[in-house]
Amino acid sequence: MTLYVYKFGGTSVGSVERIKAVAEKVKKAHDAGDQIVVVVSAMSGETNRLLALAKDMQPQPTDRELDVLLSTGEQVTIALLAMALHHVGVDARSYTGSQVRILTDNAHTKARIREIDERHLRADLAAGRVVVVAGFQGVDEDGNITTLGRGGSDTTGVALAAALKADECHIYTDVDGVYTTDPRVVAKARRLERITFEEMLEMASLGSKVLQIRSVEFAGKYNVKLRVLSSFIEGNGTLISYEESDMEKALISGIAFNRDEAKLTLTGVPDLPGVASRILGPIADENIEVDMIVQNISAHGNTDFTFTVNRNDFARAKAVLARLKADFGGTTEIIGDSSIVKVSIVGVGMRSHAGIASTMFKVLADEGINIQMISTSEIKISVVIDEKYLELAVRALHSAFGLDQE
Ligand code: ADP
Ligand code: ASP
Ligand code: MG
């Protein structure tokens, strides 16, 4: 008997008809003798609607109450899907995160899963039932409802697959797999048959929201067989797996981009030991995550210090710098820019090839795109550019690295 975890995203359960279609798909697998655990997201748009309601009550609601509110979206879909399954003659039971007991830490709105009690689920499966679990939510030690961060239902799916030692975890979504880049931005993007965990992790971290980062980490750590597929079209989707020697070695597997970045510069700070920590210490104290960092060479004992943060944190980070400015003395200026984006090329093939970075920079130069910041790792190169060039840059790189579909 094969045990599958099927996760359906917001679009896939976005209407009554679509929930019924999911029930049919699950019924088919269940009738064929497979054991099925289904994880569902809230209906598309619902989490955003709830967030907007919260903001109408209070400009900055507490994270604890946000979690109580946001978790209701998924609670609606599990009940509706269980009913739809009953209607087509499939015995099914729904569970919220806390009913399963998906135990998390208490970091509201971005909680991490610690432990899953899979006893209820196993008993239901043994009794021939389909189990329907609410994605994106858990419960902390004190019984508070927590959520796992936007896109967190992917992580629920993979974590359940790991806990139950499922044969495969299928992430059903509105695209038929992982593409070389977001197919909504580049029409010539190509579906990948396979991608390594490492590459998928980079793609997700660098802005490809097709899978939540944590879900890829989990899948890699517990060796979950993970596949991204379409809810609407039959096909093999994309398998995410460890690198194998016979894998086609493209130089670049994909291009990711992130529109959620903003850049801050302190000019003319004294070039002395400890200056980076004097700037970034107070930023960290405000719980603001820093992404890229560049410090220029010093002229006349002064240097420029630039870093990027999430756009949501831009105003707060700027306020921290404004407080620091006085400490640094007269020459220091703050320059902020929230109209930037980060574009990254990713591929394990990069390890064994020189010249990838220079090709990337030449492609951007030929399009007249100025590079503001650069960072690299073994399998990725990221650049920060003006947001108005995002699409041009991604398309040009996509062609130049031979990723376009025929
Ligand atoms: P779900 O609601 O099913 O979780 P998401 O919206 O979270 O779906 O993720 C699917 C979307 O991810 C696609 O519609 C697509 O626009 C976007 N996406 C971004 N990068 C990629 C990529 N490299 N491959 C496929 N889809 C991508
Ligand atoms: N409903 C949540 C969100 O919109 C979780 C998810 O869909 O994965 O972020
Ligand atoms: Mg998603």
CA of 7 to the centre of ligand 3 (A): 10
Structure tokens of 230? Answer: 């379409």
pLDDT score of 249: 67
CA pair distance 49, 243, nearest whole angstrom: 40
pLDDT number for residue 298: 74
What is the 10 CA–ligand 2 centroid distance (Å)?
A: 7
Q: What pLDDT does residue 221 have? A: 95
Q: Which residue in this structure is represented by tokens 């980490």?
A: 217
pLDDT at 247: 59
Whole-number Å distance, alpha carbon 72 to ligand 2 midpoint, is: 11
Check if 341 has its Cβ closer than 6 Å to any atom of ligand 2: no
β-strand pairing of 261-270 with 380-386: unpaired
Ligand 2 lined by 157 (C-beta under 6 Å): no
Helix (H) or strand (E) holding 168: strand 168-173
Q: Which ligand has the shortest distance to the CA of 151? A: 2
Q: At what angle do helices 213-221 and 153-163 cross, to 10 degrees?
A: 10
All structural domains of the chain: 3-174 (3.40.1160.10), 255-400 (3.30.2130.10)
How distant, in Å, are the alpha carbons of 30, 215, 276, 332 from that of 305?
58, 34, 8, 10
Q: Which atom of ligand 1 is nearest to the CA of 171?
A: 3
Return the ligand 1 atom nearest residue 185 CA.
Answer: 16
From the CB of 8, is ligand 2 less than 6 Å away? no
**Ligand 3 centroid – CA 330 distance (Å):** 47
Tell me, what's the pLDDT at 244? 72
* Ligand 1 contact, 10 CB (< 6 A): yes
Residue 246's pLDDT is what? 60
CA 95 – ligand 3 centroid, Å: 20
Does any ligand 1 atom lie closer than 6 A to the CB of residue 77? no
Ligand (nearest to CA of 77): 2
Q: Which ligand is nearest to the CA of 41?
A: 2
Show the tokens assigned to 78: 């599990």
Does 210 sit in the ligand 2 pocket, CB within 6 Å?
no
**CB-ligand 1 contact for 156 (6 Å cutoff):** no
Check pocket membership of 155 for ligand 2, CB cut-off 6 A.
no
Question: Measured in angstroms, how far is the CA atom of residue 45 from the centroid of ligand 2?
Answer: 9
Alpha-carbon torsion, ordered 225, 227, 231, 235, to 10 deg: -110
Which spans in 181-293 are helix H?
Answer: 197-205, 213-221, 275-285
What pLDDT score does 353 carry?
83
Which residues have CB atoms below 5 A from the ion given as ligand 3? 9, 151
pLDDT in tens, the chain (406 residues): 899 999 999 999 999 999 999 999 999 999 999 999 999 999 999 999 999 999 999 998 999 999 999 999 999 999 999 999 999 999 999 999 999 999 999 999 999 999 999 999 999 999 999 999 999 999 999 999 999 999 999 999 999 999 999 999 999 999 999 999 999 999 999 999 999 999 999 999 999 999 999 999 999 999 999 999 999 999 999 999 987 766 566 789 999 999 999 999 999 888 888 889 999 999 999 989 999 999 887 778 888 999 999 999 999 999 999 998 888 877 789 999 999 999 999 998 888 888 999 999 999 999 999 999 999 999 999 999 999 999 999 999 999 999 998 8
Cα 150 to ligand 3 centre (Å) = 8
Measured from the alpha carbon of residue 207, the closest ligand is 1
Smallest Cα–Cα separation from 95: which of 66, 64, 70, 130? 130
Instruction: Kindly give the distance from the C-alpha atom of residue 135 to the centroid of ligand 2, in angstroms, as a whole number.
Output: 8
Q: Count of CB atoms within 10 A of residue 203's CB?
A: 29
Nearest residue (CA) to ligand 1, atom 1: 9
Whose tokens are 């999911």? That residue is 22
Inter-axis angle of helices 356-366 and 390-400, to 10 degrees? 130
**Cα angle for residues 80, 114, 309 (degrees, 5° grid):** 90
SS3 content of the chain, % helix, strand, coil (to 5): 40, 25, 35
Element (H, E) at 46: helix 46-57
Q: Tell me if 172 CB under 6 Å of ligand 1.
A: no
